[in-house]
Amino acid sequence: MQITPDNKIKKLIVVGDRLLIKPLKPEEKTASGLFLPPGVQEKEKVRQGYVIKAGPGYPIPQVADDDDVWKGRDDQVKYIPLQAKEGDLAIFLQNSSTEIVYQGEKYFIVPQGAVLMLEREDEL
C-alpha cells in the first residue's frame, strides 16, 4: 500500500483516551476589526478543532479468577468508548494538550478529560 496525502492519517493509531485534533485557524482580528498578533493567538487557553482520530477509550481492568479454570483466558482488552467521534468539532483546553507536527501539519493530541464541549452534525 502506498501512502498518499489522503490515507496518511489512516495509518496512525491513537492510544487510550486520547484524540487527534486538527486545530482551526485562530481569528486574526477582533470583532471590532483590530488585528491580533500571533503571540496573542498562541496564548489562548481554549482552542477548537476537528477530531481526526479517536483512541479506543478507557481500558477496563480484568478480574483475575484463578478458581474458574473452565472459563478460559480472554486476553482481549475491553474499553469504555469515548464520547468524541471522528468529525466532531471539539473545544478543548490547550494547556492539557500536546502539539505535534506530522508531515508538515499541526495537530493536537488531547485527552478526553480536556475536551470541554463537542459539536456533532448528526441529528439527535
pLDDT tens figures, 39-64? 766 677 889 999 999 999 998 887 66
How far is the C-alpha of 14 from the C-alpha of 55, rounded, in Å? Answer: 5
Locate 17 and state its grid cell. Answer: 483516551
pLDDT of residue 8: 72
Average pLDDT over residues 1-6: 53
pLDDT of res. 1: 41
DSSP state, residue 68:
-
What's the pLDDT score for residue 76? 75
Give the SS3 label for residue 23. Answer: strand
Can you give the residue ranges of every domain in the chain? 13-25+40-60+79-123
Residue showing cell 481526526: 52
How much of the chain exceeds pLDDT 70, in percent?
78
- 13-25+40-60+79-123: CATH topology is 10 Kd Chaperonin, Protein Cpn10; Chain O (2.30.33)
Q: Tell me how far apart the alpha carbons of residues 57 and 79 are, in angstroms, rounded to a whole number.
A: 5
pTM over 0.85: no
Average pLDDT over residues 102-116: 92
Band (33; pLDDT cuts 50, 70, 90): confident
pLDDT at 44: 76
